[in-house]
Amino acid sequence: MPLPTVIVPGYLESAIAYLRLETSLTQLGFPTVTVPLRRRDWLPTVGGRPVTPILQKLDLTVKQILQQYQSQQVNLIGHSAGGWISRIYLGEKPYTPRNQTHPSVWNAHPFVASLITLGTPHISQEHWTRWNLDFVTNNYPGAFYQNVRYVCVAGKTIFGARRPGSWLAYSSYKLTCGQGNTWGDGITPIASAHLEGAENPIIEGVRHSPRSPGIWYGSPEALKIWVKYLL
């Protein structure tokens, strides 16, 4: 039987946005739940503050699904920021952001078989993400844990340029990887979505968010490309 799977929403996103993906995976035989986040749950993390509240909810969800299915491991699917948050969750180094006196350690990598990230900015030059992403990069570079299968899915959909229709992508790419004239999913450039040592597939035509028009990473057309990594 396939391992149970936990979806980690992207920044400022609620679990509701992933309901169709959750249903699709369950129908394919992968029992799936989404970390039950509401948009307001992200408010304490705004401005680069600690993502501890999200990690706590992730940890509770993983423990519940392990118990429910009497399983030793789960698969994690992290969309956007949910991907690098999942990498913090895997680790054993004390997570002690600014103004936080009690360090937190989850050390969850023994319980995670695979981590699939969808459009995750694993590197960024944005001010609000720098502390957290530097923490991940410095402590857990690349596909850090050999016992975890890392799959980092990128989208090749919009080429950033200083022209109508491509300006948002250009600005987002430049903030993320320092270069605007490159390919990505409209928000995350390919250069930021991949990790050294991971399996790094590229899907053409997918947009970043479940709320984007057209196809996104969780749409059936894209899902059939990356779902094989859950087997």
158-200: pLDDT as tens digits = 999 998 889 999 999 999 999 999 999 999 999 999 999 999 9
Return the SS3 of 8: strand
CB atoms within 10 A of CB 48: 16
Q: What is the pLDDT of residue 129?
A: 82
More confident residue, 127 or 88: 88
- What sign does the CA torsion over 134, 136, 139, 140 have? negative
Q: What is the mean pLDDT of the segment spanning 9-17?
A: 97
Residue 217: predicted pLDDT = 98
Query: Token pair 């699939």 is at which residue?
Result: 116
pLDDT tens profile 164-174: 889 999 999 99
- CA 215 to CA 207: how far, in whole Å? 6
pLDDT score for 96:
80
The domain over range 5-154+191-230 is classified in CATH as 2.30.30.360: no
Q: Structure tokens of 33?
A: 């739940």
Amino acid sitting at position 115: L
The residue count of the chain comes to: 231
- Asked whether 124 and 175 are in contact (CB, 8 A), the reply is yes
Percent of the chain with pLDDT over 70: 98
Asked if pLDDT for residue 125 goes beyond 90, the answer is: no
- pTM, full prediction: 0.96
Q: In the chain, pLDDT over 90 holds for what percent of residues? A: 88
Alpha helices, H only, the chain: 19-27, 52-68, 81-90, 130-139, 167-177, 190-193, 220-226
pLDDT score of 99: 64
Mean of the pLDDT values across residues 29-45?
97
Mean pLDDT (whole number) for 22-26: 98
Model confidence band, residue 100 (pLDDT cutoffs 50, 70, 90): low
